[in-house]
Chains A and B, each alone.
Chain A
């Protein structure tokens, strides 16, 4: 499968007279999980929404040389609470709504149940979405995106409601997914240690600008973290692995 490129060129988003994003440019290739990090209000969600074609912007976002098509992009917005009386399996099936007929085919059900199994959610298949926890709903909605088999996955804090074990499972699954489908996963991550250990590349956003794009150990430097997050940290190095970020205690004023 040929490598595709997501090219973002001078992306700008302006709302209510204020610049939310300005001059964001980068180029990303398939086969990797790219984490978008930055403090609250930095512009991560705006960037992901613009890349997915869900909000207006100036500049250019090109996916494999052309403007992205909905079918090839799997976008998961922030905080998607579901209150519908639909089972988890039905919800995943809705990810393929364009191809579903009056009678849902055996292969489509198998595909949806297969994705649920991959995310270890088989036991929830017949449970109503309203009875699931926030984290379980988030996983089902991620399964709904994956069942579409998009080449570009844009996930806005898709792991925010998950415990650490599930966050790691999802990231490992995404790493397998991008390699198997030669896809690109672009996802906002809040937990810097998770981002450090599991992302292939990081994009650091601060005040609506792209500050740094590189391998995690280069982006998450003590200086960058202090500048963007206003936080002093120690980077604890480990033999054969990426460093671990240890925040330093702040003095109580």
Chain B
């Protein structure tokens, strides 16, 4: 069989360029984490921050260590972990639905989480659990419930992307309506708490939330990695993927459950943060194409970069850190998405 060695070299060169893009994204992400750590109401020079990080939580200046390790770092790490979860979930959602407009929230997961949080804020006081646990548990449980409802409907009606989207939109409206009902019934003080949760803020993060979210993400990771090639093949279309020996329905169901878990873990503690799961996969695909070996890690890192940037920006424009990142990502996400679409269109033409 005749072949041209130039193409082998070309393929290796392309893979190397993609690895470089991932390396640059990793460096930017780490730099943003350090920058995020150095910004706060008490102020702190960058070198002191690096020293405090390297010294550990118990060594050196106690005040500095407490600020860095117990106040700022959980928020910064949470931005990275949540951004990664939303980035991966967004890419998987766009792949399994074959829809560039899809995001982790397309199938009603954010509305379900919001309803769960609103429910716990209104009635959680009656439960024998601390408040900081009730809301995330309720948000997580409702997201999983939304997943089960959509899954059940799709199982009964058919496993096509169209049916999945239609069922998801139905669930989205159901939970949005229930959420609105609770907001209508809530007292002004409770309503304020619900609205603040819905904005999505990293201020709610602590080491417990970081650990729980990270553990869920790590538990999903082997399954995501296992399906890397299959998801890339699915980009060729259902008929092509099926003809190449892939059980499309089973792959879609498995990815759907993983998306629900990642999204639930991400939003339970920090609230609904929009646009990260929509924009990060587009940026990743524009940089490294749709080979999911590269697109999944880069989408995760781009999610982290976007959320960490939003956190830095939020702190810079409002030193008290009171502007929720959810608002910043939503405002900044729209022009960013247009830029990515424009860049991809220029490249493909």
Contacts and interface: CB of A to CB of B under 8 A. Distances in A.
Interface of A: 52, 54, 70-71, 75-77, 80-82, 84-87, 89-91, 94-95, 97-98, 100, 102, 104, 106, 109-111, 113-118, 122, 125-126, 128, 130-131, 141, 144-145, 148
B235 interface: yes
B41 interface: no
Given A77-B243, A82-B240, A113 B229 contact: no
Contact of B289 (A71, A85, A114): A85
A54 B242 contact: yes
Contact of A128 (B8, B293, B348): B348
B160 interface: no
Contacts of B1: 110-111, 114-115, 117-118
Given A82-B240, A85-B285, A102 B3 contact: no
A173 to B, nearest CB: 12
B11 A86 contact: no
A88 to B, nearest CB: 10
B8 A77 contact: no
What's the dominant secondary structure at chain A's contact region?
helix
Given A86-B290, A126-B14, A97 B244 contact: yes
A109 to B, nearest CB: 5
A71 B4 CA distance: 27
Contacts of A117: 1-4
A87 B289 contact: yes
A145 B14 CA distance: 24
B232 A97 contact: yes
The interface size bin for chain B is 20 to 34
A113 B290 contact: no
B236 A84 contact: yes
A85 B232 contact: no
B250 interface: no
Interface string B283-295: 0010001110100
20 contacts: A71-B245, A76-B243, A82-B236, A82-B237, A85-B285, A85-B344, A85-B348, A86-B236, A89-B7, A89-B11, A94-B229, A106-B8, A110-B3, A114-B1, A115-B1, A117-B3, A117-B4, A125-B7, A126-B10, A128-B289
B233 A104 contact: no
A158 to B, nearest CB: 12
Contacts of B293: 102
Interface of B: 1-4, 7-8, 10-11, 14-15, 229-230, 232-233, 235-237, 239-240, 242-246, 285, 289-291, 293, 344, 348
A141 B240 contact: yes
Given A81-B237, A109-B11, A131-B348, A122 B232 contact: no
B247 to A, nearest CB: 10
Nearest to A94: B233
Given A82-B237, A89-B10, A130-B348, 7 more contacts: A106-B8, A111-B1, A117-B4, A118-B2, A131-B348, A144-B244, A148-B244
Contacts of B235: 82, 84, 86
Contacts of A148: 244
Contacts of A76: 243
A98 B243 contact: no
A76 B7 CA distance: 25
A114 B11 contact: no
Given A86-B291, A102-B293, A125-B10, A94 B236 contact: yes
A31 B190 CA distance: 76
When A and B form their complex, which 8 residue pairs have the shortest distance between CB atoms, in order from nearest?
A: A114-B1, A84-B235, A70-B245, A114-B3, A113-B3, A75-B243, A113-B7, A77-B239
Given A86-B289, A89-B7, A97 B348 contact: no
A44 to B, nearest CB: 16
B239 A80 contact: yes
Given A76-B243, A77-B240, A84-B235, A100 B229 contact: yes
B290 A84 contact: yes
A104 B18 CA distance: 14
Contacts of A91: 236
B16 to A, nearest CB: 12
Contacts of B233: 94, 97
